Amino acid sequence: MIQDVTRNFIGGKWVDSRSGNTFESVNPATEEVLTTVSRSAAEDVSAAVEAARTAYDKWRLTPAPRRGEILYRVAELLKERKEEISRIMTQEMGKILPETRGDLQEAIDMAYYMGGEGRRLMGYTAPVEMPNKFGMALRDSVGVCGMITPWNFPVAVPSWKILPALIAGNTVVWKPGEDVPASAAAFVKVFEDAGLPPGVLNLIQGYGPEAGSPLVEHPDVRIISFTGSTDTGLRVYAQAAALGKKVTLEMGGKNAIIVMDDANFDLAVEAITWSAYGTTGQRCTATSRLIVQNGIKSRLVDALIEKAKAIRLGDGLQDTTDMGPLVNQKALDKVAGYMDVARQEGVNIVAGGQRADMPKGFFFEPTLFDDVTPGMRVEQEEIFGPVLSIVTVDNLEEAVRVNNSTRYGLSSSIFTENVNAAFRAIRDLTTGIVYINHGTTGAEIQFPFGGTRGTGNGMREAGQAALTSFTEWKSVYVDYSGRLQRAQIDTDTVLDEI
């Protein structure tokens, strides 16, 4: 249930912003106000960071298995509250209930996974150069971590950051997307009820310039983890790097599905439709380009037009809805603006192309662009809506070249029944995620998540890779010889000294 007022969570207490300023969260399907939200600024961020810094020393000394037990309790509570929190997410950002349930299930999976790391957090040992000496490498916590997350996955994306940071012994200040404050509060409430000590996880509601920037700039925040647009992410990167902070970035995508003439046709149609129009195209892994071999192209376009026209728009809480609204008016205006860009570029809009005729809400029709050529703006820029651009190619080599020729490199996919072509695609597609005979969406938490080029900065979320983002390596040498051994100097005499 969404509360009338949604507050910050600092030092284990739910508090209003210091200024008393507020903003409203609006249901994008109905445009009704859902809750009034504390609007944070730099002084609220400072209070949250101070709470996290104070809690850090005790939390880092809590044995990792005990930290893991709390994360297991988080998982169990999320299971109990799955339907309640899923409904909150659907009301705040619009995607249909089956998708918000999946969003929350990712957090459950991640809580169990990272809870298990409490009994691993594996370092390693290796042989050393001198006799009577031992060497090992350990993972060490870092300190206060600042998390900035978007609205499109209100629980899943924060879980990829918060849970590995906590199991590693760090404390957290989290600023969620301003469109999903009640979802964020419901998620944090689970940690509170699971027994997480005060100050270990703190929630700051508000806007990027007012709350996000002070978090990035705060001298006591050691790590910044950001998910959002590439342009904003690069500004965060520059801002944080100038202050010597560790930064993890997950940014934009312009993902493509390649369909070869020998593809399983029906499977490809279903996967393309889901990958392009699921979450109203508002996923960083959504398919926004279809690179199709010319032999299958005409038949495939006809099938996709039929699919797009059959998609039922509406409130995501209704069982009859296939696709919900865009998140807000700004997003709707952006997607609508790209229709003019498409027409100027000579694109053929074969399905959709306009705002949906709905009494309320930020709805846009599922849209299909044909006759798109490489280099067009609609082929290169992230539209972040239910828009799919079709590019025709002659062969696999051309398809791979088109796929790789964008600013982004998150996810790609190929449909083919030729195993040799599939393995060439695995080798040559330069994206962080590659799918064979599946759409571009649907990452699993046990594998690294992230992309190349303008999609990221080389760091990864989920899987074991997530621990690297939120730990530092500490190399430890134990010399039990009882005398000074000058490593890398007296190596010629080592055997004589044994």
Which pair of structure tokens corresponds to residue 225? Answer: 């983890």
Neighbouring C-beta atoms of residue 81, cutoff 10 Å: 17
145 is catalytic: no
Where b means 16+ CB within 10 Å and e means fewer, 9-30 reads bbbeebeebeeeebbebbbbbb
Cα distance between residue 385 and residue 278, in whole Å? 10
Q: Which of 99, 106, 178, 284 is catalytic?
A: 284
Nearest-10 crossing angle of helices 64-80, 82-93: 70
Q: Are 92 and 25 in contact (CB under 8 A)?
A: yes
Yes or no: say if 1 and 176 are a contact pair by the CB < 8 Å rule.
no
User: Rounded distance, CA 25 to CA 90, Å?
Assistant: 12
d(CA 1, CA 83): 10
Whether residue 278 contacts residue 319, with contact meaning beta carbons closer than 8 Å, is answered with no
Contact (CB, 8 A) for 17 and 40: yes
Q: What is the CA radius of gyration of the chain?
A: 25
CA dihedral of 53, 55, 57, 62, whole degrees rounded to 10: -150
| Cα within 13 Å of Cα(121), Cβ side | 25
How many CB atoms are located within 10 Å of the residue 244 CB? 8
DSSP helix/strand/coil, 33: strand
Residue 310: what residue type? A
What does the CA dihedral 253, 212, 150, 473 come to, rounded to 10 degrees? 70
Catalytic residue among 92, 117, 178, 250: 250
Contact status, residue 142 vs residue 470, Cβ threshold 8 Å: yes
Q: Looking up tokens 């070869």, which residue turns up? A: 260
Q: What is the rounded (10 degree) CA torsion for 336, 337, 338, 342?
A: 100
Tokens read off for 21: 């300023």
Counting every residue written for the chain, the total comes to 498
DSSP at 437? S
Nearest partner of 248 among 461, 432, 411, judged by Cα: 461
Torsion of CA 113, 116, 118, 124, to 10 degrees: -90
User: CA 19, 20, 21, 25 torsion: positive or negative?
Assistant: positive
Is 250 part of the annotated catalytic residue set?
yes
The residues annotated with a catalytic role in the active site are 250, 284
